[in-house]
Amino acid sequence: MGVNSPSPRARALSAALREARMARGIGVRELGRLLSISPSQISHWESGDRVPNLETVATILGAIRVPPEDRRHILELARQASEPHWLSVGVNGIPQQLAAVVECERAACAIVDWVAIGMAGSYDQCTTCLVRS
C-alpha cells in the first residue's frame, strides 16, 4: 500500500482516478472484477482514505484505457502522492491546487472555518479547516 495520510497530491490522485473511471463509464464493481480487487478497496482509493502504489495506479489506468496524456498526469500524481507541499502550473485551465481544494470540499462533511487572504497574505494567515466524516 502507498501513503496512508492524504497529502494534497494524494487527494488530487484520488479525484483523478475516480474521474478517469467514470469518464469511461466503468463502475467500481466492474473495475474490481477486471483487476481482481475488491470494490471497497477501489472506493478507499477514490475517496482518498488510502493511496494506491504506483504499480496499482498504472494497472488501473491500463485496465480502463486512459489516454496517454491523462495517464502521464495521473502517474505523476501517484509518484509524488506522499510529498507534503505542492506548487505546479495549472492543467486544462484549472490550477491543480484549486482542483485539490475542490476535492477536499467535496469530501468534507462540514467546513468549520475558511479564511482566504489576498496574495499578500502569508501561509500562516490563510487557514482552512475541513472536517471529514
> Is 119 inside a domain boundary?
no
> Is 59 inside a domain boundary?
yes
The predicted structure's pLDDT at residue 128: 43
> Of 96, 94, 76, nearest to 86 (Cα)?
96
Q: What CATH number is associated with residue 44? A: 1.10.260.40
> Is 128 inside a domain boundary?
no
The predicted structure's pLDDT at residue 114: 65
Whole-model pTM? Answer: 0.62
The predicted structure's pLDDT at residue 62: 94
The predicted structure's pLDDT at residue 133: 40
Q: Is 84 helix (H, G, I), strand (E, B) or coil?
A: coil
What is the span of the domain harbouring residue 39? 8-107
The predicted structure's pLDDT at residue 88: 53
> Is 116 inside a domain boundary?
no
Average pLDDT along the chain, 133 residues, taken 10 residues at a time: 61 90 94 94 90 94 93 90 63 62 70 58 43 41
Q: Give the count of domains, the chain.
A: 1
> Is 73 inside a domain boundary?
yes
> Is 91 inside a domain boundary?
yes
Q: Is 125 helix (H, G, I), strand (E, B) or coil?
A: helix
